[in-house]
């Protein structure tokens, strides 16, 4: 047993592989947050009056809110006046070809294993790569615009599609929603905007790679996706961040609107810097993600693979307003060393015959704490609503924790709500069996964990699934050895 | 190929093996029999390197290497295979994925390049035939939802894939019906060659009708108390172990 624990420790103590800083000049503003800063951000982004007003209202509201403390997280005090709220690469012009892009930046993507050109050619993925806060490169725009699809940075959307942005921004996650949503609304730097018109099926996976780079800069991404009637889109978001000693705050908001007969699949691979093996540094990831199925037969599916961040606070949710609408949440959350994660979902059933499915797979290693928190709410009018939830926890070693907090609020008697939960450990017998077939313990753990998470990984688009599988094993290297 | 000298081992401070001596040459089949609790499965586990067992004395040479100095996976890669009495399930991991890693580790040890996916799948199909393993089983998760018979066939299938120098089959016949027993046992026979060796651990002579041993050893209280040829197994089947145990005491 002692040996086993030693082995597990070794794998878990693997250092973060993507820790490096890219040396690109950045344009930053003074530290701290006040009305002037909010105005300055808005001005730097050359925003219209209504946007500035929106930010200011959000800021005023944020000032009235306390930091939430209900999660199963131990959050060090954050000094919001010690954060730089805006950073943009100094060379901001749009590029027409790859040759014009800063080679340092391209090299960074290389190191991350995200060669843009390869992705463009092989995978047919349109990439809106976000480096720090300003959108650097957008591809496949032409193909998309022929179909009437809008896929651009949020800044561009505010400038070029003000009516769409005004109509939907804050409609799913209002700035009054919570502390971090208010903060984001006040200071959001950039993000992605996507609009799929009626009846259009987006022919390619849309993806954005976010990356924090400037030291001490918070990252406040804002994403808005709207799928009009009968539209379909699969959207991928993935990120890795360079290593840093200082804690970095990340408070993103993602809003999704799904109209009648439309479908949105949103997949995330999150690999922000988790801190070192002693729990020093790492990203604080406080994200609000929510989508609404507004019309009949609308479908929204969240898939996430969470391996990074020192602290994760994140509950991608579905409001099932339209009759017969469907919400899904598939999650793998892996915590190692001193990482803490409190993640899950909310399924709010409002329409008739709405269905939701939750599959959560937690993996805890090292001294980490991993919590699933999920709410299934069935409203009074949601006749025939159904939910199935499955929450599994896998423990690696004996110093980590796994917790499950399911909440049920059912106000309609016809609802059927099921919940299953399991907790397991990687058994010594499994490891012995794998070793006896010639597999190293490290490979065995990666394989067993991959098998455990397979149901969720299978929901990811192919190339993402492979990346995610790699990420799981990289994140576990050192836990067993 | 395998030379065991005076092997002693403990489990939770209780001595289970108390001086095993055994020599296995290439091309040979050895059967180890003996009453329950005599240490047969322990011997198999110790040879495979299971860390639950503490070797307190003795020496084991395998292909000229000191086996006891090698990790579990090093032993496996060097060509030592253990057919498990109770194969474990690994949910969500397909047999194909599992075997691909295993086969390529073995190949790496032998200085061979990893197999291409096409070659690997062809090999899976061919080797599956040896134990009449339904090709659907190989796309399922490792042992998950397999019947008792399927699990045992799957062990021999893995043996065929890995092509070991020495296979130790721990009660591979337990829990098999007559047809499955025939398939599993003939599978083992098909894999037998002059350059490899097999140790079968069994309670029953019926397995040895198919896998004809060169030597039969009787293990009792952690020692080999008697060795003979295949006729010994027949005599044990007819008369039990008492006559040997009485003689030993």
CB contact under 8 A, A437 and B49: no
Give residue A97's pLDDT.
54
Write out the E strands in A154-298.
192-196, 206-210, 222-227, 232-240, 248-250, 253-258, 263-271, 283-293
Asked if B72 and B90 touch (Cβ cutoff 8 Å), the reply is: no
Q: What is the DSSP letter of A98?
A: G
Winning range, highest mean pLDDT, from A224-228, B90-94, B205-209: A224-228
Minimum Cα–Cα distance from B161: chain A residue: A437
Which residues have C-beta within 8 Å of that of residue B100, sequence separation ≥ 6? Answer: B115, B120
Q: Which has more pLDDT, A136 or A269?
A: A269
A434-472 core/surface letters (b: 16 or more CB in 10 A; e: else): bbbbbbbbbbbbbbbbbbbbbbbbebbbeebbebbbebb
Domain range spanning residue B74? 2-248
Lowest mean pLDDT among A96-110, A239-253, B3-17, B167-181: A96-110
Give residue A462's pLDDT.
75
Write out the E strands in B76-196.
80-83, 90-94, 141-142, 166-170
Give residue A468's pLDDT.
79
- Segment A304-341, tens digit of pLDDT: 999 888 899 999 999 999 999 999 999 999 998 899 99
Tokens of A317: 């949710």
What's the rounded Cα separation, in Å, for the pair B186 and B168?
16
Chain B residues within an 8 Å CB radius of A435:
49, 71-73, 76
CB contact under 8 A, B72 and A430: no
Measure A416 CA to nearest chain B CA, in Å.
28
Give residue A35's pLDDT.
93
What's the rounded Cα separation, in Å, for the pair A205 and A458?
16
What's the rounded Cα separation, in Å, for the pair A64 and A184?
15
What's the rounded Cα separation, in Å, for the pair A393 and A378?
26
How far is residue B116 from each of residues A161, B78, B106, measured CA to CA in Å? 50, 22, 15
What's the rounded Cα separation, in Å, for the pair B222 and A420?
46
Which residues have C-beta within 8 Å of that of residue A223, sequence separation ≥ 6? Answer: A154, A191, A192, A193, A194, A208, A237, A252, A253, A254, A255
CB contact under 8 A, A453 and B51: no
Mutate to test the interface with B, among A1, A7, A434, A438 (most CBs of B within 10 A): A438
pLDDT band at A2 (very low <50, low <70, confident <90, very high): very low
Asked if A10 and A479 touch (Cβ cutoff 8 Å), the reply is: yes
Report the residue from B52, B76, B84 with minimal CB separation from A438.
Answer: B76
pLDDT band at B206 (very low <50, low <70, confident <90, very high): confident
CB contact under 8 A, A448 and B93: yes
Asked if A424 and A393 touch (Cβ cutoff 8 Å), the reply is: yes
Domain CATH code at residue B8: 3.40.50.300
Minimum Cα–Cα distance from B76: chain A residue: A438
Residue that the structure tokens 């901001």 belong to:
A92
What's the rounded Cα separation, in Å, for the pair A436 and A475?
24
Give residue A7's pLDDT.
46
CB contact under 8 A, A437 and B71: no
CB contact under 8 A, A453 and B158: no
pTM score? 0.81
Chain A residues within an 8 Å CB radius of B76:
435-438
Other Cβ atoms within 10 Å of B10 Cβ, number: 16
Give residue B85's pLDDT.
93
Chain B residues within an 8 Å CB radius of A454:
92-93
Chain B residues within an 8 Å CB radius of A433:
84, 87-88, 90
Mutate to test the interface with B, among A426, A436, A455 (most CBs of B within 10 A): A436
Residue that the structure tokens 């092989």 belong to:
A122
Describe the strand order of the beta sheet including B65-66 as a list of residue ranges. Answer: B14-24, B2-11, B54-62, B65-66
Measure A426 CA to nearest chain B CA, in Å.
10
B59-81 core/surface letters (b: 16 or more CB in 10 A; e: else): ebebeeeebbebebbbbbbbbbb
pLDDT band at A205 (very low <50, low <70, confident <90, very high): confident
CB contact under 8 A, A447 and B158: no
Minimum Cα–Cα distance from B71: chain A residue: A435
CB contact under 8 A, A447 and B90: yes
Chain A residues within an 8 Å CB radius of B50:
432
Chain B interface, Cβ < 8 Å to A: 48-52, 71-73, 75-77, 81-82, 84, 87-88, 90-93, 97-99, 101-102, 105-106, 109, 141-142, 158, 162
Report whether pLDDT(A216) > 50: no
pLDDT band at A270 (very low <50, low <70, confident <90, very high): confident
- Segment A32-90, tens digit of pLDDT: 899 999 999 999 889 999 999 999 999 999 999 998 888 888 888 888 998 888 876 54
CB contact under 8 A, B92 and A440: no
Chain B residues within an 8 Å CB radius of A430:
88, 90
Q: What is the number of domains present in chain B?
A: 1
Looking at every residue in chain B, the average pLDDT score rounds to 92
Give residue A5's pLDDT.
52
- Segment A407-443, tens digit of pLDDT: 999 999 999 999 999 998 888 899 999 999 999 998 8
CB contact under 8 A, A430 and B50: no
Asked if A298 and A328 touch (Cβ cutoff 8 Å), the reply is: no
What's the rounded Cα separation, in Å, for the pair A57 and A105?
35
């Amino acid at each position: 047993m002692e040996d086993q624990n030693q082995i597990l420790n070794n794998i878990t103590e693997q250092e973060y592989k993507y820790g490096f800083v890219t040396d690109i000049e950045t344009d930053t503003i003074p530290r701290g947050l006040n009305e002037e800063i909010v105005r300055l951000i808005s001005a730097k982004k050359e925003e219209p009056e209504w946007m500035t007003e929106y930010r200011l209202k959000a800021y005023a509201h944020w000032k009235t809110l306390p930091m939430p403390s209900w999660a199963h997280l131990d959050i060090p005090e954050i000094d919001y006046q010690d954060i730089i709220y805006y950073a943009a690469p100094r060379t901001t012009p749009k590029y027409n070809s790859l040759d014009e892009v800063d080679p340092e930046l391209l090299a960074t993507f290389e190191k991350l294993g995200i060669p843009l050109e390869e992705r463009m050619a092989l995978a047919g993925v349109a990439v809106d790569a976000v480096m720090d806060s300003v959108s650097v490169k957008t591809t496949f725009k032409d193909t998309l615009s022929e179909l009437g699809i809008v896929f651009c940075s949020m800044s561009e959307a505010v400038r070029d599609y003000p009516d769409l942005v005004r109509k939907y921004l804050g409609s799913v996650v209002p700035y009054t929603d919570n502390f971090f949503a208010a903060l984001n609304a006040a200071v959001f730097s950039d993000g992605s905007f996507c609009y799929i018109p009626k009846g259009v099926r987006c022919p390619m996976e849309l993806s954005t790679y976010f990356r924090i780079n400037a030291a001490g800069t918070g990252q406040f991404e804002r994403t808005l996706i709207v799928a009009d009637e009968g539209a379909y889109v699969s959207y991928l978001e993935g990120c890795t961040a360079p290593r840093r000693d200082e804690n970095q705050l990340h408070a993103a908001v993602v809003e999704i609107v799904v109209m009648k007969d439309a479908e949105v699949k949103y997949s995330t691979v999150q690999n922000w810097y988790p801190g070192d093996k002693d729990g020093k540094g790492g990203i604080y990831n406080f994200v609000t993600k929510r989508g609404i199925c507004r019309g009949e037969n609308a479908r929204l599916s969240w898939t996430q693979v969470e391996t990074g961040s020192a602290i994760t606070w994140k509950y991608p949710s579905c409001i099932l307003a339209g009759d017969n609408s469907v919400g899904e949440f598939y999650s793998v959350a892996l915590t190692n060393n001193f990482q803490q994660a409190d993640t899950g979902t909310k399924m709010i059933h409002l329409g008739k015959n709405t269905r939701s499915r939750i599959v959560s797979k937690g993996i805890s290693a090292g001294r980490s704490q991993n919590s699933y928190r999920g709410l299934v709410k069935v409203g009074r009018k949601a006749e025939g609503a159904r939910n199935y939830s499955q929450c599994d926890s896998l423990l690696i070693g004996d110093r980590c924790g796994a917790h499950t907090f399911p909440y049920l609020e059912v106000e309609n008697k016809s609802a059927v709500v099921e919940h299953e939960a399991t907790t397991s450990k990687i058994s010594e017998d499994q490891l012995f069996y794998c070793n006896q077939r010639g597999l190293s313990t490290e490979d065995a753990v990666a394989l067993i964990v991959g098998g455990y998470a397979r149901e969720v990984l299978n929901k990811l688009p192919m190339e993402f699934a492979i990346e995610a599988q790699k990420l799981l094993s990289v994140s576990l290297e050192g836990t067993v050895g | 190929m395998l030379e065991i000298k005076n092997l002693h081992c403990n489990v939770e401070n209780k001595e289970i093996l108390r001086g095993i001596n055994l020599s296995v040459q290439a091309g040979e089949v050895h059967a180890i029999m003996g009453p329950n609790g005599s240490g047969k499965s322990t011997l198999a586990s110790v040879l495979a390197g299971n860390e639950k067992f503490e070797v307190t004395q003795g020496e084991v040479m395998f292909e000229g290497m000191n086996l006891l100095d090698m990790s579990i996976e090093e032993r496996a890669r060097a060509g030592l295979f253990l057919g498990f009495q109770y194969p474990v399930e690994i949910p969500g991991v397909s047999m194909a994925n599992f075997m691909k890693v295993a086969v390529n580790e073995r190949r790496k040890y032998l200085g061979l390049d990893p197999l291409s996916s096409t070659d690997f799948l062809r090999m899976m199909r061919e080797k599956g035939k040896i134990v009449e393993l339904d090709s659907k089983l190989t796309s399922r998760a490792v042992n998950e939802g397999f019947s008792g018979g399927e699990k045992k066939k799957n062990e021999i299938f893995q043996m065929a894939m890995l092509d070991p120098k020495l296979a130790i089959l721990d009660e591979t016949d337990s829990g098999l019906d007559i047809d499955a027993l025939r398939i599993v046992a003939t599978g083992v026979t098909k894999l037998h060659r002059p350059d490899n060796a097999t140790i079968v651990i069994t309670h029953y002579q019926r397995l040895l009708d198919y896998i004809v041993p060169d030597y039969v050893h009787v293990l009792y209280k952690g020692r080999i108390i008697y060795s003979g040829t295949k006729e010994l197994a027949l005599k044990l089947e007819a008369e039990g172990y008492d006559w040997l145990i009485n003689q030993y005491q």
